[in-house]
Structure 1
Amino acid sequence: MGIDREQCIKQVNQYIDAHREDMMQFWKELVSIESGNESQKEGVDEICSKIAEELRGCGAETQTIQMEKKGNFLLADWGKGREKKPVLFIGHMDTVFKEGAAKQNPFRVDEDGNAHGPGVLDMKAGLTIAVFIVKALNDAGYNERPVKIAFAGDEENGHRESGAAAVMLEACEGVAAAFNFETGYLDDGLVVGRKGSFRMTVEVQGVASHSGNAPEKGRNAIQEMSHKIIELQNLNDYEHGTSLNVGLITGGTVVNAVPDHCEIKIDIRFTQKERLDQLLEKIDEILAKTYVDGTKTIVHKTVPSAVMEDSEPVMALFHHIEKTAELTGYGKVKPIKVGGWSDSSLVASKGIPVVCGLGARGKGNHSPEEFAVVESVFERAKLIAASVILLDEDLV
């Protein structure tokens, strides 16, 4: 049986307004749990269990996918079995912060109405919004589409040490649209494009020798690498959104020895796979050159991530949210493209309409200054819930 969509939106809004304190408390609890990607698997798994319990409380079926090294992956289905295609809510439960960050920078709300704390914006506010949208839809009697949830435990390192990417790709099969509750922007820009990322490690092996007694017998690995770095950095093509950054370098042992080893780590961002392929050809040419005779270069490459392009399906979903924002009185939103990667790139690679950056508005990701605008948590929950309810209005 169909629903009165206008009435359903009204009831959802009433639920959000009546549960502001519950949302704040849930958000605070998530921020207070240490869940750094690097070494805090237990904290990520605790968040996973907490969210699963909350979702089961409103009738969702949940499944925890165990990960060996990184945080577990949470899958959930609410309203499973309904005739229409489901929508997918995406998020991640890990942060970039070191152990002790929650004690040094505890959750708090300042006099300007901004919340602070590690991961408060990226993206524990978004997790809170997604969970309470499901709870509000359940309370309002929404029954048209299932809602699937896919929350990863290791997004901050791009799932490089787990099988989470495959789980995310499987979760998006057959869905009508996906909503990613990543960091929202202060200017109400919603993300319709994200660059792909690619990482490389380059090693140069030289010959060690005493820099005073026999410098001519050495083969300086740092000197060889320096030539390569200059040429590599000149490959940046900002006009076409392709960038290369030599971000880390190590080498040598002591100041009075010719260094026999040097290593760099390279981060590459790209807007199209074709441009990445062209860039890698140029990189290979540079790395194949030898500037210091007697040195050897070794290259280690990762697998390139997917790109989120502002495709027709993505823009159709954005325009649906844009129309919903105007219809419900939220205000104007705008499409933006950003350089950072997210799981939206994986979903978009399957041709699924997805819009990212639907979490709370804020600034300062990955820093002690990170903050989220408290009021935007409730505003975004209402906006995306209405976008789900009205989905067939503009997007099939």
Structure 2
Amino acid sequence: MEIESKQQIAFNYIDTHFEEAVSLWKTIVAMESPFWEKKAVDEVCSYLIQWCTQNGLHACRRYCETTGDGLVVSTQSTNLYRHGIALMAHIDTVHKIGAFGSNPVLEKDGWLYGPGVGDCKGGAVMALYTLLALRESGYTQRPVKLILVGNEEGGRPNNENFLPDELCGSDALFNCETGVNGKIVTSRKASIGAVFTVHGESGHVGHLIDTPANAIREAAYKILELENHSDYKDFIFSCGEIQGGTVFTSVPDKCTFKVNCRIRSKESIPVLEQILTQVAAKSHIPGTTSKVQLTGNIVPMAASSKNNALFAQFDRASRALGYGAFEPVHSGGGSDASYAVMLDIPAICSTGVIAENAHTLRERANIESLRMRAKTHILTILNLAD
């Protein structure tokens, strides 16, 4: 069957099932799933597995002990997955349950509002219907899989990272993260979490006769020292969480704080590690000790000619469909697309639904963009060379 015929069948499937796709989108957005609530994320995973089964898709759950489970979806068995096409999205979000009120989903003026509506549940639904449409068209040129992750936002320990295994055998990755109108991400900074634990010595403030081993005060010195290393180009250090103390009349003997670190290139990795190690080892307050633990993927999504070639094909498809040209951009935000680049797999990112205000209570996604982005993915995949 010619590409044009497959394209027509696949596009017709998207058009005739569009309202159904939007309904699924609303359903899983209403299932609030902040990354730290494993049970909530797992419930979304279970719902989608059931939905995939009902729609004739293969769905394999990837269990994680401490973070949200993921699943891998395909139109056929991926036991012999070689020269495949991977799509990826995540089903965990960043908002506390109830942050958007008792009814977290709102449709208004062509936009959908809600927690994770664009980051990244819209991309997940778009990718699911891309798979269904390709199957309907009879496409078998390459195996296609969708990797849905339940632990993207907060990172995961290495033993719960199934992405390198699932990406192996891929010739391309489309990471269906939050889309931006007219732009596609071809490179990204790495986003690393550095969790510092500071220990001091507790005591009654009224009994002090000398400088106490105050864990919070030591943490404050370290936070300022780290942020002074930011040049906002190659390195960013930003403390976003801190916990310590029990009551204000006692000297705190423990303080933990989390720093988000961003680096632009893999050459910055040893420098980053040295900075974090030195800051943890140095004590400003006598009697305090500290340690640091890293979370997340330390390797950036580096720019490459392979990424640029894949971008060119996606851009060509968009222009052919009358959706306009894309601009390739570098993003300061991290994503799981970096794992593909680590494996020398061509990757582009932010190919999901067009959305705005991610990680805020104003988060919204353009409903019609689900149709547009699904068709752009379909045409790109149909035209990928053997």
Please give the TM-score of this superposition, normalised by the length of structure 2: 0.90
CA offsets per residue over residues 358-380 of structure 1, 9 Å max, x none?
11101121222110001111110
2:130 counterpart SS class: helix
Alignment RMSD (CA, Å): 2.5
Q: Alpha carbons of 1:218 and 1:95: their partners in 2 closer, same or farther (altered >3 Å)?
A: closer
Equivalent residue, structure 2, for 1:71: 68
Q: Alpha carbons of 1:347 and 1:256: their partners in 2 closer, same or farther (altered >3 Å)?
A: same
CA offsets per residue over residues 87-123 of structure 1, 9 Å max, x none?
1111112222323357534323112x11112221111
Larger radius of gyration: 1
Give the C-alpha shift of residue 54 in structure 1.
4.1
Q: Please tell me whether the aligned partners of residues 280 and 292 of structure 2 are also in contact (alpha carbons under 8 angstroms).
A: no
Q: Alpha carbons of 1:55 and 1:158: their partners in 2 closer, same or farther (altered >3 Å)?
A: same
**Which residue of 176, 181, 186 maps to 1:181?**
176
2:13 counterpart SS class: helix
Equivalent residue, structure 1, for 2:155: 158
Q: Please tell me whether the aligned partners of residues 191 and 263 of structure 2 are also in contact (alpha carbons under 8 angstroms).
A: yes
Give the C-alpha shift of residue 385 in structure 1.
0.6
- State the number of aligned residues: 384
**Counterpart Cα distance in 1 of 2:211 and 2:135:** 75
The one-letter code of the counterpart of 1:370 is E
Equivalent residue, structure 2, for 1:195: 189
The one-letter code of the counterpart of 1:172 is L
Equivalent residue, structure 1, for 2:134: 137
Equivalent residue, structure 2, for 1:370: 363
2:191 counterpart SS class: strand
Equivalent residue, structure 2, for 1:355: 348
**1:123 correspondence with 2:120:** yes
CA offsets per residue over residues 59-99 of structure 1, 9 Å max, x none?
43322223333332212332458997221111112222323
**1:311 correspondence with 2:304:** yes
1:239 counterpart SS class: coil
Give the C-alpha shift of residue 53 in structure 1.
4.1
**Counterpart Cα distance in 1 of 2:101 and 2:220:** 41
CA offsets per residue over residues 130-154 of structure 1, 9 Å max, x none?
1111111122222212111211222
Q: Alpha carbons of 1:237 and 1:130: their partners in 2 closer, same or farther (altered >3 Å)?
A: same
Q: Alpha carbons of 1:106 and 1:219: their partners in 2 closer, same or farther (altered >3 Å)?
A: closer
Give the C-alpha shift of residue 253 in structure 1.
4.2
**Counterpart Cα distance in 2 of 1:286 and 1:51:** 44
Q: Please tell me whether the aligned partners of residues 221 and 295 of structure 1 are also in contact (alpha carbons under 8 angstroms).
A: no
Segments of structure 2 that go 5 or more residues without pairing to the other structure are none
**Counterpart Cα distance in 1 of 2:3 and 2:58:** 25
Q: Percent identity?
A: 32
Q: Alpha carbons of 1:209 and 1:189: their partners in 2 closer, same or farther (altered >3 Å)?
A: same
Q: Alpha carbons of 1:98 and 1:64: their partners in 2 closer, same or farther (altered >3 Å)?
A: same
Q: Alpha carbons of 1:84 and 1:154: their partners in 2 closer, same or farther (altered >3 Å)?
A: closer
Please give the TM-score of this superposition, normalised by the length of structure 1: 0.88
Equivalent residue, structure 1, for 2:275: 282
CA offsets per residue over residues 6-34 of structure 1, 9 Å max, x none?
22222222221222211111212221223
